[in-house]
Each structure stands twice: as C-alpha cells, then as structure tokens.
Structure 1
Amino acid sequence: MTKASPCLPALLALSASLRGARTAEGLGLRRLAHKLGVSAQALSLWETGKRAPAIEDVAHVLGFLRVSPEEYDRVMRLRRHLEDPISIEALGAGSTSHRRALEELAVRTFEWAPHVVPEPLQTTEYIRAIAQDRAAAPDDLDQAIFEHQVRQLDQGWTGHRTVLVGAAALAPAIEPQLQALRAASNFPGLAIRIVPPAVAKTIDAFTIYEGQGSAFTVALRHQDNIIFVSEPDAVQGYRSTFKALERGSVTCADFRPGPSCETP
C-alpha cells in the first residue's frame, strides 16, 4: 500500500516547533545534532519541513530539550497525525501557525473573500463601519484600528496572490474600500478582482496555497478554527470553483457598485 504524503501545514508546524524548541534553549543546529547523535543535515531537513522525522526522533529531540509536558503532547500529536489529509488549527495559535507557515512559503495564493474584505486590504473606514454596526465602544474601536494597522505591517504579500472579493463584502464602506482595492491592484504580484452578485456562489471563504512542486493546500475558516485540506480530489474541487469565480469577475477599475452592493 502506498504511504500517504505528509500534510503540508502539519509538517510545517512540526518543523517550526522543533526549531523553536531548539532556539529556546540557545543551541545551534550543529551542536544539537552532535548531542543527539544525528547528522546536522538530517536535523536541518526536519526543521525546514523538507523531511518528516520519525515519531521516535521527534520524541528524542523533545525529550533532550526538556520541553514542557503540554508542548511535548502538542508536538507529538502533530507527528502522529502528519499523514492525515485534513488538519485543524485554532485561530491565534501563535508562531507555529499552519497558516503563517503556508503564507511564508507559498509560491502562489488564491483567495476567495465573499463576505469580508481580507484584513490586509481593509481601510480604516471599513473597520470603523464594521465596528459601528456591532455597536463597539469608542475605545474598543480605536483599539481595533490600531491592532489592524499593526497586523498590516506584520503581514506582507509573498509570492503571487490573486484575491477575488465578493461585491457584497464592500458594503460597510463601498467607495473608500473600492478606491483602496484599485490602488492595491497596482502592487507587484497582487491581482484583485471583484465578483458581481450575479456570479458569486453560495460558498464560504477559502484560500488555496500552492507550494513548491505544485503542492496545494486549502484553508477553510470554521468558527474559531481553520481547517486545512490537502486531499487531491477536494483540492481540485476548490481550484475549479475558484477558476469559475475568476472567469465571472471584473477588475477593480471596471467594477461599478449597484443597489445589490448596498447594506440592507
């Protein structure tokens, strides 16, 4: 029977966890490899996600570095489920985030945002309008805008990114947000298109990450979790859906808001 390939997000999270445990102890890669009795090349491959370490090797590394029992259980759980075609991560999982690792390593990214403009592209007016709809207190509103600006500085675009924004997502602040999207469309490696209401399908937001060697992973947000799917047939279905939406989309410059884009 053919062995399943490691799930890319889980493999990246595992590699980041091993690397983080080593650096937390102030050990260089070669020094740790020598103490573990493994080659520096093997350890490097484990820490960069280019090769999946055996369960025994993961336990050996974590045990030598004396990580906390909670961290030990978390990382070992990652390794045990490495071949699962689906992995789940709680939002705000920190530096070993599956999503962050995919963002950094993706060659190309395809994002469908039917209801909310992606956070790095949101304007201050857009955030303010959303907060006002939720009856946020002034102090909470200022804090939300500040946190958004910090995240914008922290999250740059890597590789080539295509973003399809549903026309309904513009509703909180149509004109300023549309102007911002038109300006952002000029950024190198970033393509933004608007999907009119007549074309938009009743499918929730998703992001497709393409890594080296045409390895694809789909990220789906569900409540407080992100679900990562690498099963080939499921990935192909999302890729086909994205292409269909893209065919019916228009450029930001050509899009003209209509009544259907207004907030009810």
Structure 2
Amino acid sequence: MTKASCYLPALLALSASLRKARTAEGLGLRQLAHKLGVSAQALSLWETGKRAPAIEDVAHVLGFLQVDSAEYNRVMRLRRQLEDPISIEALDASPTSQRRTLEELAVRIFEWAPHVVPEPLQTPEYIQAMAREHVVAPDDLDQAVFEHQVRQLGQGWTAQRTVLLGAAALKPATGPQLQALRAASNGPGLVVKIVASSAAKTTDSFTIYEGTGKTFTVALQHQDNLIFISEPDTVQGYRSTFEALERKSFACNEYQPNKSCDAPRWPR
C-alpha cells in the first residue's frame, strides 16, 4: 500500500468502525487481538488506518464481535472501496462516516462555499432568512433556528480551516452575517474570505482535507450523497482552483457589499 493510499477516506472510516465495534463490547485492544489470534500490533495498525486489513480479517473481526447485519454490510462495503480512488456515501452525520473521520484527522481544511454559509458560521438571522425563503410558517422559524443550532453543536472545528465564501452566500442576511464572520475571522485556526460574484467562476462547492504527510482528499456533495476523491491529478485540480479563488478573495474586514469589489486583487 502506498503512502497516499493510507489516507483514503474509506480506510479512515473503516479503521474508526473497527475501533468502535471493539470498544462497544468493552474489549481492550490486546484482549481482542488474543481472542482473534492476531498480534496486537496488527490490530492496532488496522484500527489507526495505517494498514488495510484483508477482507477476510475484517469479516473475522466483525463476526467475532457479532455486529448487526446492517453494520456488517456497511463496514465490508468500506473495505471493498479501499482500492478505489473515488468513494460515495449517503449524506449523514454518523460518527463513523467518512466525512466525520476526515474532519477529525485533518491537519488543515480548505472549503469553497459559493452559495450557502457553512452551518457552524450561520447566524440566527441568516437561518431565519433562509427559512423564510423556503416558505416556512412564522411559528416554525424559532424551531428552524433551534434545529440548526443543535446541529452546530456537533460540528466543532479542530483543524486549521480556510473558508472562501461566494458573495451570493451572504445575501439572505448580509449585514448580520458579515459582522459575525468578521468576528469569527479573528479567532485562532479559522480564516474566512469573500470572493466577489464576478470572480466566482466555479459554481460547485467542495472541501479539501489535508492529512498528515501532505495527503489530500476532496469531498463533493451530489444530491443526497457525498463523493470523496483521492486521485492525485483530480485533487491537484481542485487545489489549484481553490488557490485561484483565494487570490481573488477579500478579507471579511475589507469586503464592502455595497461597493464594487469585482476587480481581482491579491489579498494581504
């Protein structure tokens, strides 16, 4: 297995799933390794994503731990994805999902959000404005805000993150949202910049996760699915696109929504 393949999202999700299945049974790593007849070192490498277990080994672990059939099929599907540079999963917030695993293990994250402010950065005014656009009844607005805030609690960011926002993403509540972004940009580990509409030639959102050892995975959302790409040439294309957008971006404190900011410029 190559160094880059050690960071395939399917492998990270697989390792997290094996570890979760073991701890759910209250078994220590050495204890389970002894019962399985494998070395503790091998099991540790499987659970940390540093080595891919054979498909027979995955079946052995899951069978011994007696995981239910739905989880068994999900984890076995992850194992079969390991040799594929593209993997797909349903859009969810499962603790063992590929996206959550990448979020937890990433060193740096680069996000392009042309149409909607990422949920952890949304203000109540922004959420209410979006709800009104979707013709939510007035009595349901408070509930919409509450549900968004509950989801935000589970989306804390630990890695260094750069977020590029398309100017159109601010429109539901430009004033309050921009003020909140200016405050958030002063915090550690987070950079937020605005890309003017004329410079935002790329319409689709994407996220780039950088792992240790300069390994990268791109996540794209398509309808109800997330697509993860680890193929080097494709990943490099998205990295180049992000760098080009960042060169045309404005710091939140510099961006003036009521003035023309369409002229490309180098950020300070």
TM-score range for the pair, normalised by the shorter chain length: over 0.9
Is 1:15 the counterpart of 2:11 in the alignment? no
For the Cα contact (< 8 Å) 1:10–1:87, is it kept in 2? yes
CA contact (8 A) 1:7 1:85 kept: no
1:43 and 1:140 map into 2 onto residues whose CA distance is: 49
Question: What root-mean-square deviation, in Å, do the aligned CA atoms of Structure 1 and Structure 2 show?
Answer: 1.9
Structure 1, 16-25 or 227-236: larger mean CA deviation: 16-25
- How many residue pairs match? The answer is 260
Amino acid at match of 2:79: R
Whether the 8 Å CA contact 2:7–2:215 is kept in 1: the answer is no
Q: Distance in 2 between matches of 1:80 and 1:168?
A: 40
Other structure's SS at 1:23 match? helix
Distance 2:3 2:15 in 1: 20
The one-letter code sitting in structure 2 at the alignment partner of 1:27 is L
Q: 1:65 to 1:230 in 2, by over 3 A?
A: same
Q: Deviations over 1:14-57 (max 9, x none)?
A: 11111121122221211111100111121111112121111111
**Equivalent residue of 1:237, what SS?**
helix
Matched, 1:257 2:254: no
Cα 1:255–1:153 shift into 2, 3 Å:
same
Partners of 1:211 and 1:3 in 2: CA distance: 11
Q: What is the deviation of 1:174?
A: 0.4
1:201 alignment counterpart: 201
Deviation at 1:255, TM superposition (A): 0.4
**Where does residue 187 of structure 2 map in the other structure?**
187
Change (3 A) 1:146 1:55: same
Q: Compared with structure 1, are the counterparts of its residues 213 and 177 closer, same or farther at alpha carbon in structure 2 (3 Å cutoff)?
A: same
CA distance in 2, matches of 1:107, 1:45: 20
- C-alpha separation in 1, matches of 2:183 and 2:234: 34
Deviation for aligned residue 1:150: 2.1
Counterpart amino acid of residue 56 in structure 1: E
Among the aligned pairs, what percent are the same residue? 77
Matches within 5 A, 1:224-239: 224-239=224-239
Q: In the alignment, what sits opposite 2:95?
A: 95
Q: Which runs of 5+ in 2 are unaligned?
A: 262-268
SS at match of 2:147: helix
Q: Deviations over 1:111-160 (max 9, x none)?
A: 00000001100000000000011111345332221122223232222221
Partner of 1:161: 161
Instruction: Call closer, same or farther: CA 1:173–1:136 in 2, change over 3 Å.
Output: same
Asked if the contact 1:6–1:83 (Cα under 8 Å) also holds between the matched residues in 2, the reply is: no
The 8 Å contact of residues 6 and 51 in structure 2, kept in 1 or not, is answered as no
- In the alignment, the residues of structure 1 paired with residue 3 and residue 163 of structure 2 have an alpha-carbon distance, to the nearest angstrom, of 34
* Aligned residue type for 2:229: V
Q: Could you tell me which residue of structure 1 aligns to residue 223 of structure 2?
A: 223
Is 1:41 the counterpart of 2:41? The answer is: yes
Aligned-partner residue type, residue 5 of structure 1:
S
TM-score w.r.t. length of structure 1:
0.93
Offset of 1:90 from its aligned partner? 0.5
- In structure 1, the residue matched to 2:141 is 141
1:6 deviation in Å? 5.1
Corresponding residue SS for 1:87: strand
Q: Distance in 2 between matches of 1:165 and 1:206?
A: 11
Contact 2:7/2:211, CA 8 A, preserved across alignment? no
Measure the CA separation in 1 of the matches of 2:12 and 2:184. Answer: 29
Q: In the alignment, what sits opposite 2:58?
A: 58
Instruction: State the alpha-carbon separation in 1 of the partners of residues 140 and 24 from structure 2.
Output: 34
Give the TM-score normalised by structure 2: 0.92
Q: Which amino acid aligns with 1:30?
A: R
Alpha-carbon separation, structure 2, partners of 1:121 and 1:260: 25
Which 5+ residue runs of structure 1 have no aligned equivalent?
Answer: none
Instruction: Judge conservation of contact 1:210–1:216 (CA < 8 Å) in 2.
Output: yes
What is the DSSP-based 3-state SS (H/G/I as helix, E as strand, rest coil) of the residue aligned with 2:199?
coil
